[in-house]
Structure 1
């Protein structure tokens, strides 16, 4: 009998030792995985690769702007001088004089700064209808909206890299066609394809860039991109003022740099964040090896990712009431061994034992495990996602965010271009006004980026929409005071430019990677459809345009308050447990080992 009891006690001790060891092994597995941010830091952080890649993406984003934002100057009519019968001249408008009466002779005043060698000559727009000329810009947005249905979704299914590559390749080819075209109808068709490719260049490219950038630098790089895009119009105006009145040179430069970017893209790795979201961990490590090579990092890239470790523990059905989170596992299906391990860990750390009285009453388990419990909540959430369109409504938080972001994108895009069309009411020199209005965007991008980093998406969006709303209201109130109209237009433009920057920054972060591109696409479809209306609305008599502007901005202001950035528990964890994981890891291990020595 005594031998039987000894054998049974030996078996219990052996089981307890096995359980203790399993606890430590599970704990080691849990803390061994690296987040993508930690992986970036391990291979050099934000350094040589990101300097090159960020520059590539920023200029890739800008190439389309070099052409599209030049449209107002490409379509700008020169200063016409009509001849009187006595040979003297007077300034005249084409549609009211020689286009109606071909007997009237005229010439172009090339000494005037606003007279440019542009599409008016190349495409013979002199007597063309304003509706057909306006179609050049409108068809661009149509192409963009159509592409938003397909390209972002393809980037979610097949990856960012090659969707971006082919978008930039065809973007360059269409760009070249637009430079060579001397036919208005052909140019209109090409502009539709240009808009289609621009969606991949801008939206997919932006998403790709942000996923390759460490979180700490994402807002900075995103803001630099917006600033560069905003300064494009300034560069174009300065080119026509001081370099040449001929439009081809500047556009050839833009097209050439487009193709330089195309040949550079194959050297970029696929987005590690995208690959991790697809559970393609080996491919993600291969991408990080490319980044490590550029960063001159000589160490091995053989670590595991935190999501990978959580998935392994989940798949092995380990009860992580003390490690990952029992909520991930199916309730009621925990193994007996799991319960024993939990019971052992709790009792060994929280109980008073001979020689280990210092452990009594200390609940270190919670401090140690809370970060992983919250991480487990996100893992559980993302494990429900498979990249299908149903994912957008499966989780209530994402569905709400998507609906709100659609409205915010509509408000930002529609209002931005509507305000641009209102610039024609500003009196003075055309180029000076253009440069001044464009420079207004720079502080808007900088300030919105800083506040987004410090205060979060809700407060910044509400503040920026309020600024644009105030500008719109003042434009309604003082619509007859031509002296203050420019000030209020610039105020409204400041606000909508800031919201545009936040739209890009937020869209790349608040949605899970597995369908971030799809969310980008859905928002862009509705945004560009609304933007198509803005040039037509701008031609409606006052106060209709600015009334609609104020209504749209007001609705967006209210909806911005309801954006949900992350589960509340995770936000609490980020505030309370940031930087404490390593300390708690040592505490838990010491206390478990202390119990082992004291038993």
Structure 2
């Protein structure tokens, strides 16, 4: 007799688990566009607009010192004393005469509209070479050129994490920028701040990614138009601190770091 034919059929439902009905989220992966993703997560409401507003501020985080760099390295109008009169003179005239350097026979004419309290006056760069004075602004833009080295990592680490790191880093740079009295260290700080300038791009990309398609064109144009507004109003704190009768220039660091964050 065949032994195998005497085996009793096993109850497959006794020892094995019957699979439950799969949910709609356990099904095969779906390809969704932005609008469908927002619908799955919840409607685009007031909280979403608040996030976009914060992103707008992040996009313009460095506007203040970005647009004030020409003023920070602008050589003010100088006056030299001849007899009992003060006449206009150049910094070349002062640096050419060793007796004038460090004396009270020359001064900055703060009555002139283009004379500001800036790096030239605070660090006594009157006799500094023109190239290195101009490099104060160039150091930042050199960093901007290489900020792609940081920007590309946002796809790996995540835009939100990289945005936080670059924002905190730029705030530290801004806070220390006007407290620093070493010109070489200022070059380094400006270069690093340029490297971290990618936070503006990260903020813009992050906001566009969470914006419905029907609002993306509006939001992109709104960000660019607000840059013009920010460039006009955020320069006011610098104009205030650059006046000799107001608090020291390094007080601007606090305003800069808060605005950058």
Match of 1:218 in 2: 216
Over 3 Å counting, the alpha-carbon distance change for 1:126 and 1:244 in structure 2 is: closer
- How far the C-alpha of 1:247 sits from its partner, in A, is 4.2
The corresponding residue for 1:169 is 168
Q: Residue 131 of structure 2 aligns with which residue? A: 131
Structure 1 residue runs of 4 or more that deviate by more than 6 Å after TM superposition:
none
Shift in Å, 1:179: 2.5
In structure 2, the partner of 1:427 is none
Is the contact made by 1:239 and 1:250 (CA closer than 8 Å) also made in structure 2? yes
Separation in 2, partners of 1:158, 1:241: 39
The residue number in structure 2 matching 1:191 is 190
Gapped regions of structure 1 (runs ≥ 5): 1-28, 260-599
| Alignment partners' CA distance in 1, 2:251 and 2:223 | 24
**What is the 5 A alignment of 1:452-531?**
none
Residue in 1 aligned with 2:80?
82
- State the Cα distance separating 1:75 from its structure 2 match: 1.4
- Greater helix proportion: 1
Q: CA deviation at 1:239?
A: 4.5
Is residue 140–residue 192 contact of structure 2 (8 Å, CA) maintained in 1?
yes
5 Å-filtered alignment, 1:263-412, equals: none
User: Structure 1's 159 and 74: CA in aligned 2 closer, same or farther, altered over 3 A?
Assistant: same
Which protein has greater RCO, CA pairs closer than 8 Å, 6+ apart? 2
Is 2:34–2:211's contact at 8 Å kept on the other side of the alignment?
no
Contact 2:139 2:190 in 1 (8 A): yes
Q: Choose from 56, 59, 68 the match for 2:57.
A: 59
Cα distance in 2 between the residues matched to 1:136 and 1:185: 10
Kept after mapping to 2: 8 A contact 1:81/1:90: yes
- Alpha-carbon distance in 2 for matches of 1:164, 1:249: 26
Distance in 2, matches of 1:189 and 1:69, equals 19
Distance 1:180 1:247 in 2: 9
Q: Aligned pair in 2 of structure 1 residues 174, 243: CA closer, same or farther (>3 Å)? A: closer
Determine whether 1:253 maps to 2:255: yes
Tell me how far 1:189 sits from its aligned partner.
0.9
Q: Tell me the alpha carbon deviations over residues 494-527 of structure 1, each in whole angstroms, 9 at most, x when there is no partner.
A: xxxxxxxxxxxxxxxxxxxxxxxxxxxxxxxxxx
**Aligned residue pairs: how many?**
225
Cα RMSD (Å): 2.5
- Secondary structure, counterpart of 1:171 in structure 2: helix
SS for the counterpart of 1:107 is: strand
Q: Secondary structure at the match of 2:192?
A: helix
| Structure 1 CA distance for aligned equivalents of residues 131 and 179 of structure 2 | 23
C-alpha displacement of 1:251? 4.3
